[in-house]
Amino acid sequence: MTVRVRIAPSPTGNLHIGTARTSVFNWLFARHHGGKFILRIEDTDLERSRPEYTENILEGLRWLGLNWDEGPFFQSQRLDLYKTAVQKLLDQGLAYRCYTTPQELDTLREAQKARGEAPRYDNRHRHLTPEQRAAFEAEGRSYVIRFQIEDEREIVWDDLVRGKMTWRGSDLGGDMVIARASEEGTGQPLYNFVVVVDDIDMQITQVIRGEDHIANTAKQILLYEALGAKIPEFAHAPLILNMDGRKLSKRDGVTSISEFKQMGFTAEALVNYMTLLGWSPPDSTQEIFTLETAAKDFSFERVNKAGAKFDWAKLDWLNSHYIHSMPVDQLTDLLIPYWQAAGYKLDAERSRSWLEQLVALIGPSLTRLVDAIAMSQLFFSETVEFSDEAMQQIKQEGAAATLKGIITALENQPQLSQDSAQDIIKQVVKEQNVKKGLVMRSLRAALTGDLHGPDLIQSWLLLNQIGLDKPRLHRAITE
């Protein structure tokens, strides 16, 4: 049987790291088995769903390289299917209209709480007579549709990650609401119900999702049975935890894929890292791989039950790896939007070839793409601020004379090269009988405003090409 898996995000927020990691596992499983990966947007919550979130989710999945084979399907366009299914359960007597009011439910819950019991619906409207129903309707009560759950039922499945799972019907909170009140008779169907109707309709063979859905799975299995469908396999991936062992949340700063992108993580590093959030390859020393290579080895046998701790240091390490091994032209393409966002002018002087030289210079020092903003500021601003150290350096005895010497030498060398730059330094050392260190430090201080930074000669060449070196040297001696 062809493997068919799906990811079913709700567009009530931007693409979350947890959903993205679940997408990675689905994608890997589908590709490993030569199956299909389907995208379904669960937008039945009309109040909280927004088109911009759908857009963010699609864009995030595309950016990560998690291409889907079918969809996106939108639940909001499939309401007839759900209504037919609700009607089927009503007709079979497996579901019923429940007229219990919110106040009555509150009273019930309070009483249960007072007795130290877990809150649950007491199935009081399961067997209403037609007269009772008519009386409630005459009162103007609205209703929900509940699906019967037998307390004695034992629900068992063999989870692909967690092994044998057993639930009791009595743990599921009483007969479950599958549709809320609406104008039409069948109501507005809810998550646990529509997800099953869709998974049946889309012939999903494995439901791969986060561990927070385990209790839903128990309920959903009963719905598969009631709808007379084959039950798929289930795999519950471990939660993503922060370093304190708590579920990763908004409090941890970033949670959405677009935020990770803004922070300067590459798509390759992020998918690689997400693959490792809960899964390990057969050769556990192997940490760097593409989605395609991971797909060859992927199986749920190697997915952990325990929560996966989110390790920023490891993500940074992977990110530097991908940045450092990327061809310069590709890295340049990635950095341009960051420079633009920082307001740096990519004018005619800063040509593509100049930008690529800059990228070759700073690329090896980047951990996150965003680091390029601070690291290349000195190449985009007309003047530099001198740090205290740099100021001290250019005030040192002999420094000004050294810098003057460089300016004079530059008169004959307007277009600098690696060799001529080295020659100028040698020449000044000799003429003024000073240590090379003094020349290099003073030059660095004057050109970059700092005593630390990228390779000095390369930096000088870049500044020379855009005519910024001489003004900076002049300024340093007049400062």
Q: How far is the CB of 12 from ligand GLU (least distance, A)?
A: 8
314 is catalytic: no
* Minimum CB–partner distance for residue 212 and ligand GLU (Å): 8
Q: Which is nearer to ligand GLU, 36 or 209 (CB)?
A: 209
Q: Is residue 42 a contact point for ligand GLU (CB under 6 A)? A: yes
Identify which of residues 68 and 460 has a Cβ nearer to ligand GLU in the complex: 68
Closer to ligand GLU by Cβ: residue 39 or 421: 39
* Rounded CA separation 75/414 (Å): 66
Contact present, 286 and 312 (Cβ < 8 Å):
no
Regarding 149 and contact with ligand GLU (CB under 6 A), the answer is no
CA distance 429 to 431: 6
Per CB under 6 A, 209 contacts ligand GLU: yes
Residue carrying structure tokens 């793409």:
369
Could you tell me the two tokens for 404?
């003057």
Q: Where are the beta strands (DSSP E) in 259-403?
A: 308-309
Which residue, 9 or 187, has its beta carbon nearer to ligand GLU? 9
Residue from 5, 10, 63, 449 binding ligand GLU (CB under 6 A): 10
195 lies in the site for ligand GLU, by CB under 6 A: yes
Residues making up the chain, counted from first to last: 479
Q: Answer yes or no whether residue 424 interacts with ligand GLU by CB under 6 A.
A: no
**Which one among 9, 11, 232, 405 touches ligand GLU, defined by CB under 6 A?**
9
Q: Which of 250, 309, 395, 426 is catalytic?
A: 250
d(CA 457, CA 461): 6
- Among candidate residues 463, 269, 291, the one with its CA nearest the CA of residue 369: 269
**Beta carbon nearer to ligand GLU, 9 or 174:** 9
CB atoms within 10 A of CB 385: 11
From the list 8-16, 68-76, 299-307, 428-436, the region that binds ligand GLU by CB under 6 A is 8-16
CB 305 within 8 A of CB 162: yes
Q: Residue 70: which residues within 8 A CB-CB, separation 6 or more?
A: 36, 37, 38, 39, 202
Binding status of residue 43 toward ligand GLU by CB under 6 A: no
**Rounded Cα–Cα distance for residues 473 and 465 (Å):** 15
* Alpha-carbon 286 to chain mean position: 22
Binding status of residue 36 toward ligand GLU by CB under 6 A:
no
Residue nearest to ligand GLU (CB): 209
Contact footprint for ligand GLU (CB under 6 A): 8-10, 19, 42, 195, 209, 213
